[in-house]
Amino acid sequence: MSQFLGPIHQVMYGKIRLLHGWEETCVAQAAAAWGEARVGELLAPKIGERWRPAAGDLADLIGDHPIHDWLQANLNRAETSLAAVVAALLGHGDGAGELLRSASFNHGREVALHATRPPGAGDGALSALAAILAGCYLDGMPCDQVSEVVAMDPRRLTVRRMLEIHRANWQAGGADLETMIALQGAWSAGLAAGVASTIQHQREVKPVAGMLACVDTFVL
CATH ID of 7-219, from 3.40.50, 3.90.1520, 2.60.40, 3.90.930: 3.90.1520
Quick one: average pLDDT of 42-71? 92
How confident is the model at residue 117, as a pLDDT?
Answer: 67
Mean of the per-residue pLDDT values of the chain: 90
Percent pLDDT > 70 in the chain is 91
Quick one: average pLDDT of 108-128? 79
- Whether the pLDDT of residue 152 is over 90: the answer is yes
The residue among 218 and 131 whose pLDDT is bigger is 218
CA nearest to 180, candidates 200, 199, 203, 157: 203
Is 31 exposed, middle or buried (CB count within 10 Å of its CB: 0-12, 13-18, 19+)?
middle
Whole-angstrom CA distances from 124 to 88, 111, 127, 130, 192 are: 40, 18, 5, 10, 13
Tell me: the pLDDT tens digits for 13-33?
998 999 999 999 999 999 999
Give residue limits of the domains in the chain.
7-219
How confident is the model at residue 103, as a pLDDT?
Answer: 98
- Whether the pLDDT of residue 5 is over 80: the answer is no
How confident is the model at residue 179, as a pLDDT?
Answer: 97
Quick one: average pLDDT of 152-170? 93
Our CA dihedral for 23, 24, 28, 31, rounded to 10 degrees, sits at 60
How confident is the model at residue 1, as a pLDDT?
Answer: 43
